[in-house]
Amino acid sequence: MDRFRAIIALLKSITYIVKYCFFRMGEARRRSEKGLQPRSKKSKNKSPRIVPWFPVTLAQRDQFIQLSIRAGWVGIVLLVILWIVVRIIGPAAGWWIPADSR
């Protein structure tokens, strides 16, 4: 009797392995089999495209413009800091001598 139970348990574990490891069911099939509603579609971006064949929307265009404006200001600030270091801080610290002051 114990052998019979061991064989039954072995067969159950084998069918479990075969069913859930080798024949995995897709999400849509599983939901329809269980009687669940299909998953709702993800909402697409409501912003219209600039040109129908180019995958950039008007909102993305505006974000890019804002990003480029900020990047431009960061570049200007870094250039001013570099100029101050080269013209004022470097010669004052004795790191170098400007060529036009000789």
In this prediction the pTM is 0.51
Q: Higher confidence at residue 52 or residue 76?
A: 76
Cα dist from 32 to 26, 36, 79, 101, whole Å: 10, 6, 62, 83
Indicate if the pLDDT at residue 21 is higher than 70.
no
Instruction: Identify the band that residue 74 occupies on the pLDDT scale cut at 50, 70 and 90.
Output: very high
Instruction: State the average pLDDT over residues 20-41.
Output: 75
Instruction: State the average pLDDT over residues 62-91.
Output: 96
* pLDDT at site 99: 86
Mean pLDDT of the chain, nearest integer: 85
